[in-house]
Every structure is written in C-alpha cells, then in structure tokens.
Structure 1
Amino acid sequence: MPVTRAAEAETHEMHGTRFTSYIRPGMGSAELCVWQTQVPAGLKGMPHKVLREEAFVIIAGVVTLTIDGQPEELRVGDAALAPAGSTINLENNGTETATLLVTVPVGFQGELLDGTVINPPWAS
C-alpha cells in the first residue's frame, strides 16, 4: 500500500507558494494527485489557466480564489472547483498563512498568461 508519511512528503516552491505533494504518479497513483498548498499572508498570486479540473478545500486561513474573473472569499471548510480551461488566481489578503488541500487528475498542467505551460512537479 503506497503511504506518504508527513516527514517524507516532497515540498516545492513556486511563485511564493509552497506545495507539499502527497499523492502523485511518481508515488504510484494512476488517476489522482493530492497536495497541500500554503499561501503566505499578502500573496497576490499568479493568474494562470488550469488545463484539467482542480478542486480546493480550505483547511486554515482565508483566501480569495478568482475563477474566470469571479472572486470568492473562501474560509476554513469551504471548497471550490475550477473547471478545466478556466483562468484562476489565488490570493491571501489576510495576516496569516492559508493552507489548502488540492486535488487534480493525473496529467494536470497549468498555463501562465504568457502561454508558458507548467507541469508541476508536485503532480508528476
């Protein structure tokens, strides 16, 4: 049974945000990726398009998630789904780090507004 112990989870940094990978193809997953995202206080985020669905659950703090131009403030226990092809941005206007649990299907990619395609290592 594939198990990721917290102390063994891989951590990555991108655009001021920390991603801790728990489930991904590199660990044997065929269909799902799961990671924790930590968004520092004051982070304005990096708008990008998601090429597959992305689901978010807030487990600490408060964030503003904008999907296709529609911002929503999300608090602990709230969840949101970004449809494939949508443009998203995640901001933390609060005073403490926000933490989210995120899941996507295997094969997930993002695309920056300049057209650069990102294959996030926490989902590979």
Structure 2
Amino acid sequence: MPIIIPEDATIFSVHGSTFRAYVNPGRGSEQLCAWRLEVPARQVGVAHRPDHEEVLLILHGDLAVTLGGVRATAHTGDAVLIGAGAEVRIDGGTEDAAAWVTTTPGLRATTADGEVIVPPWAQ
C-alpha cells in the first residue's frame, strides 16, 4: 500500500532546515517528489534557483519568501509557486514553520555563488 507514515520518511538536515522526504523515485514515484520542509524560527535561508517548478503549501507558521527579488510572507494555508529558474529564498518567521513541497524528480538548484545542489529528497 502506498501510504508512507512520518516514521518512514527519510530525514535530511541542510542549511539549518529539515527535509522529510516522503515521495520520490526511490519510493516508487515516477513523476512526483514531495517532502515536508521544517524551518526554525528566524532561520535565514539560502538563495537558490531551482531548475524545476516547486509548490510550497504552508502547513503551519509563517515563512518569509523572497521570489525574484520580491519579499512576502506566506501564512498557514497559503501556497507558493516557484517557477523554474526563479531565484528564491525562504526564511523562518517568528515561530517554527513547516511546508509541504512538491516538484518533479531530478530537481537541481544553483546558489548565488554557483554551487549546484542536487537534493537527494528530489532524486
């Protein structure tokens, strides 16, 4: 049965945030990747440009999202569409926050200093 419980999620900690991988090709998905992103309060994110679209659904808390140079606050229940190639940075709000993130397999992201990130939760 394709039910993945929280205890079965693969956990990664990167740049101060936690990524709990639920869906990716390693779990049998052919076209989707999905994970829970947990961002501590006041955490400063890393600006990067993903090469695939991503959608974030804010599960709880607030996240400051800078997308294409425009900063806005996403609240519980809000969805954020990040276009392929758009520069994005996600910062924590005043309390811990979490978002559900969905994209397609093979996602890579490039930071401002040229580092290419190949997140294992999206492969």
Query: What is the TM-score normalised by the length of structure 1?
Result: 0.95
Tell me the equivalent position of 1:74. Answer: 74
Unaligned runs of 5+ in 1: none
Count of paired positions: 123
Instruction: Name the counterpart of 2:44.
Output: 44
Contact 2:10 2:20 in 1 (8 A): yes
Determine whether 1:59 maps to 2:59.
yes
Q: CA RMSD in A?
A: 0.9
Structure 2 residue runs of 5 or longer lacking an equivalent are none
Q: Match of 1:59, as an amino acid? A: L
CA contact (8 A) 2:61 2:93 kept: no
- The runs of 4+ residues in structure 1 deviating greater than 2 Å are none
* Structure 1 residue 3, shift from structure 2 partner: 2.7
2:112 counterpart residue number: 113
Measure how far apart 1:5 and its partner are: 1.7
Determine whether 1:123 maps to 2:102. Answer: no
2:71 is paired with a residue whose SS is strand
Give the CA deviation at 1:2. 2.9
TM-score scaled by length of structure 2: 0.96
